[in-house]
Structure 1
Amino acid sequence: MTALKLENVNKSFGPVHVLKDINLTVEEGEFVVFVGPSGCGKSTLLRVIAGLEDASSGTIAIGGEEVNTVPPAKRGIAMVFQSYALYPHLTVKDNMGLGLRQEGRDKSVVEERVAKASAMLDLDRYLTRRPAELSGGQRQRVAIGRAIVRDPKLFLFDEPLSNLDAALRMNTRVEIAALHRTLSASMIYVTHDQIEAMTLADKIVVLRDGRIEQVGSPMELYNNPANRFVASFLGSPSMNFLERSVPGLPAGQTLGIRPEHLHLAEDGPIKGEVTHVERLGGDTNLLVRTDEDETLTVRLFGQDMTPVGARVTLGYKATDAFYFDAEDARLQPEAA
């Protein structure tokens, strides 16, 4: 069954057109990540799916049923917010079970579902605590547990890790991925962090200015970006783009090459000077200013002792190069 289907969804706030002809299908059990820069419309799209905002036009179907006029509480969704949204005066147990109690569920059902969710999220020892007695990561697990107990058709996550520090973000990311495997649930996850998108998603939806730029698996988008925007957004460090530093490149075209696909060479097409070095232990990033006054990043695996100020020559395999036209659309190899 299709978990979610959006057809020609638009959203405007007065004269501002925020979402533009969104068409998307989420299959049952898929983990779909909406990713894009701030202001691209990803959180607005999530709120439209949840019913917290009305679509200006188009159709929204959840579990095969149109829900455009269905209130949020009746859509069969559960939402996890960036801010946790926990009641400070309630215990962990009461926060997790509150939604079910408000629905009038039997006490035994509430107890059973809270127990199951707390065991799944390793929250058993914290059930009698209040949010102020928990760490940020534990509070976010409580918010996720509150969503789980509702047994929704669709989970919606709105940048749930942005308030956590780097170590907690990684741990909680692993927990969310494990949770998805355990529940086999349909999940939509909004983030501006492309690492979260690459590591969590079955399918990534890249948004820009209220439009979908490309949809596909993480490696599909990484290896075959449709345009320069998608190519630049996925990958860390981001893709290099050169217009003057590559001999023979036709006017109006841009060459894209990922940092890990560049290497130091005795004879290569790109020459320049190292302006900065980042030694990260497992690998080394060189920032190079080319002789044509363009800056690029070179990712070298392992420890490299090239100093700042060194003259370097860089090479790459032709099969690793991407080409883009003047409108930033991807050119296929035969057209480049």
Structure 2
Amino acid sequence: MTALTLTDVNKSFGKVHVLKDINIEIEEGEFVVFVGPSGCGKSTLLRVIAGLEDASSGEIRIGEDVVNLTPPSKRGIAMVFQSYALYPHLNVRKNMSLALKQEKQPKEVIEQRVAEASRMLSLEDYLDRFPSELSGGQRQRVAIGRAIVRHPKIFLFDEPLSNLDAALRMSTRIEIASLHAQLGTSMIYVTHDQTEAMTLADKIVVLRDGIVEQVGSPMELYNNPANKFVAGFLGSPAMNFFPASLVRDGDTRTMGIRPEDLFQSDQGAFAASVTHVEKLGGDTNVIATIGDHNITARLFGQHDVAEGQILQLGFDPAKAFYFTEDGARDR
């Protein structure tokens, strides 16, 4: 069953056209990530789905219902923001239960749902604490719990991990993935972090300048990007781009090779001058130049490479990508 359908959705703020003919289908139980650079429209799209912004045109359908004119509280969605937006004068239990009380849910239902969400998020020992007594990760879990208790049709996450440090981002990301597996509810997650997109999503929607560039599973987009933008956006370190004429005389296209697909070889196609080395333990990232072009090679394991060294780098031609002048994929 389809949980959400967007058909020709547009959004303008005055003369600024922010979302342009958005067409997306999200199935029941899917975890979908909207990803793209800052200003691409992903948070605006989430707010249009939530009803916090009105679509300028197009149709928004949740399940079988067109909800363009339905207020946010009646759409059956729950939203988790980048800021925790907790009430400082209410303890965890009351923050989580407030929306249910406003809906006039029976006391026993409220208690059951708060207990259920607290168990899922390991918050049982914090129910009587106030937000000021919690860590950033705990506050974010409370915000997620406040959404869970509403039993929504769709969860919306707007960059929920942005305020957490690196270690907490990873652990909370795992918690969200586990939560999705337990609940089986459709989730839409907005981020500019392609690592979050790749690790969480069943389906990724890549946006640029208010346009959907490509939709697909993480590996579909990684292995078969529709254009140069998608190819360069997904992957860390990012894909290398340089003129195909460096390896094919007269070829006017741009060539793309992922860093992990470059390797040291005495018969390598490139003589690369090393400018910086990142020794990460399991991997070694070598930043180098080929003529006037910067490239990154991800060498697996530990390598004794130094700045100023000349490396011969080879690649598997079958793993190369080619793009036309306007960025379209050309094999």
Paired residue secondary structure (2:167) = helix
Tell me the distance in 2 between the aligned counterparts of 1:160 and 1:142: 12
The equivalent residue for 2:189 is 189
What amino acid is aligned across from residue 96 of structure 2 in structure 1? M
Quick check: 1:19–1:41 contact (8 Å CA) kept in 2?
yes
Is 1:262 aligned with 2:262?
A: yes
Matches of 2:292 and 2:58, distance apart in 1: 48
Query: What does the per-residue CA deviation read over 1:142-185, in whole Å, with 9 as the maximum and x for residues that have no partner?
Result: 00000000000000000000000000000000000000000001
- Alignment pair present for 1:330 and 2:329: yes
Alignment of 1:288-327 (within 5 A): 288-290=288-290, 292-327=291-326
Alignment of 1:97-176 (within 5 A): 97-176=97-176
Residue of structure 2 equivalent to 1:55: 55
The whole-number CA distance in structure 2 between the counterparts of 1:247 and 1:41 is: 38
Q: Show structure 2 runs of 5+ residues with no match.
A: none
Letter paired with 1:69: L
Which secondary structure state, in structure 2, belongs to the residue aligned with residue 198 of structure 1?
A: helix
Structure 1 residues 154-303: aligned runs within 5 Å:
154-243=154-243, 246-248=246-248, 250-290=250-290, 292-303=291-302
Counterpart secondary structure, 2:93: helix
Amino acid at match of 2:222: Y
Kindly provide the CA deviation profile for residues 289-312 of structure 1, in whole angstroms up to 9, marking residues without a partner as x: 11x211100000000001111111
Work out whether residues 263 and 314 of structure 2, in 8 Å CA contact, stay in contact via their aligned partners in 1. yes
Please provide the CA RMSD for this pair.
0.9
Q: In the alignment, what sits opposite 1:19?
A: 19
Please state how far the C-alpha of 1:38 moved relative to its aligned partner. Answer: 0.2
State whether residues 245 and 251 of structure 2, in contact with CA within 8 Å, keep that contact through their aligned partners in structure 1. no
**1:189-244, Cα deviation, whole Å (9 max, x unpaired):** 00000000000000000000000000000000000000000000000000000116
Instruction: Calculate the TM-score normalised by the size of structure 1.
Output: 0.97
CA spacing shift, 1:234–1:104, aligned 2, 3 Å? same
How many angstroms does 1:272 deviate by?
2.2
* Distance 1:169-1:87 versus aligned 2 partners, 3 A rule: same
Whole-Å Cα distance in 1 between the matches of residues 246 and 75 of structure 2?
Answer: 54
- Taking structure 2 as the reference length, what is the TM-score of the superposition? 0.99
Secondary structure in structure 2 of the residue aligned to 1:307: coil
**3-state SS of paired residue (2:274):** strand
Unaligned runs of at least 5 residues, structure 1? none
Q: Size of the alignment, in residue pairs?
A: 331
Measure the CA separation in 1 of the matches of 2:305 and 2:265: 13
Read off the aligned partner of 2:319 and give its amino acid letter.
Answer: D
How far is 1:24 from its partner?
0.3
Structure 1 counterpart of 2:263, one-letter code: H
Counterpart amino acid of residue 329 in structure 2 = R
8 Å CA contact 2:244–2:253 kept in 1: the answer is no
> Quick one: percent identity of the two aligned structures?
69
> SS at the partner of 1:18?
strand
Aligned-pair CA distance for 1:320:
0.7
1:249 deviation in Å?
5.0
Q: Determine helix, strand or coil for the equivalent of 2:39.
A: coil
Partners of 1:22 and 1:41 lie apart in 2 by: 11
Question: Deviation digits for residues 254-299 of structure 1, max 9, x if unmatched?
Answer: 0000000000110121112111111011110111111x21110000
Q: What is aligned with 1:80?
A: 80
Displacement of 1:251 in angstroms is: 4.3
* 1:3-18 alignment runs, 5 A limit: 3-18=3-18
- Could you say if the C-alpha distance between residues 249 and 99 of structure 1 is closer, same or farther in structure 2, counting changes exceeding 3 Å? farther
Could you tell me which amino acid in structure 1 is paired with residue 88 of structure 2?
P
Q: What amino acid sits opposite 1:180 in the alignment? A: H
* CA distance, structure 1, for counterparts of residue 67 and residue 163 of structure 2: 31
One-letter code aligned to 1:230: V
CA–CA separation in structure 2 for the residues paired with 1:144 and 1:249: 56
